Amino acid sequence: MPDDDAPVTKQCCVIAPIGGPNSTERRATDGLLASAIRPALKTFGLEVTAAHEIDESGNIPQQVIMHLVEDDLVIADLTGLNPNVMFELAIRYSAAKPVILLALADTRLPFDFNQERTIFYVNDMAGSEVLKHDLHRMVETALADTQPDNPVYRAINERLIREHAPKGDLESLVLDRMDRIDRSLRQLRSNQPNFPHPPVSVGMAYDVTFDSNEALRDFLGQFQIMSLDHRPMPELLTKGDKVVVRLAYPDNISVKDWMTITEFPGVRALEAAN
């Protein structure tokens, strides 16, 4: 559990776009460090060191690489898809140690990162508070992960399986992939209920219920950056012993919005309001 007064026992390296000393990129990164990352990680006893605070030379210096390889955690901000950040992230991936990815809302990530867990944030005061909450949850999970997974690790692991499997026998590789697919499907089935198709002509207001108050808070925190055709004003209501979010649409809800909302973690029901 995080502790507000936790002593420094671990190290975290942050890699992000930096630009020049007075550039927009540098101000954005320094603001992110001060308002969200350092406050959130302090409670875990993590000392945060940003790559640009170590050395400002053009090439990646040896001490930065040592942080990338040895630190307990690395946080990478993929905003702008900066080439230096990508290079530094590849070094960390090669070390097979915990990584948390961040990106400014609406960042279009390359296909390679589509399967990776990424926190999307809004760069304002309210967004900083949401980001701190998301970091708390993600850091706890990342530090407890004894077998971090990433694209480099998966590629190397599959190559090793191929090399050590008997010639002409790729059974272990196939079984490994099937096992991963099965785990993903079981997780999806356990986390998500079966939803009917969106109603065609029921009404213009829809109630969303959740399996926990934390899931509800997460939904409200992420609502402004969710990819929706329409963005109705959410309203909190009580229905029996549950708190629900009511979304009032200008007309019937679109299929895209229906799918986006029902796929959000912790959503247990989406139905036309009575």
Residues 23 and 139 in one domain: yes
The reported pLDDT for the residue numbered 153 is 67
Residue 112: inside a domain: yes
Q: Please report the pLDDT score of residue 164 as a whole number.
A: 62
Number of structural domains in the chain: 2
- Structure confidence by residue, pLDDT tens digits, 106-149: 788 776 665 567 888 888 888 888 899 889 888 988 888 777 67
Distance CA 39, CA 4 (A): 9
pTM metric for this prediction: 0.58
Does residue 125 sit in the same domain as residue 226? Answer: no
pLDDT of residue 71: 95
In which residue ranges of the chain is pLDDT below 50? Answer: 58, 188-192, 200-201
Same domain, 14 and 92: yes
Query: 210 and 139 in one domain?
Result: no
Q: Which domain holds residue 268?
A: 205-272
User: Could you tell me the CA-to-CA distances from 266 to 51, 88, 177, 193, 205 in Å, in that order?
Assistant: 36, 34, 27, 9, 20
Could you give the C-alpha distances from 262 to 79, 196, 232, in angstroms and in order? 27, 10, 16
Q: State the chain's maximal CA–CA distance in angstroms.
A: 64
We report the CATH number of the domain holding residue 248 as 3.30.70
Q: Does 93 map to a domain?
A: yes
Q: Are residues 24 and 118 in the same domain?
A: yes
Residues 217 and 136 placed together within one structural domain of the fold: no
Instruction: Decide which of 91, 120, 144 is a domain's last residue.
Output: 144
Q: What is the reported pLDDT for 251? A: 74
DSSP state of 182: H
| Cα–Cα distance, 247 to 204 (Å, whole number) | 8
Residue 40 belongs to a domain: yes
Q: Quick check: 102 and 119 in contact, CB under 8 A?
A: yes
Same domain assignment for residues 222 and 129:
no
- 17-44 pLDDT tens trace: 988 888 999 999 999 999 999 999 998 9
State the Cα angle at 30 between 28 and 33, rounded to 5°: 110
Residue 86: what residue type? M
Mean pLDDT of the chain: 79
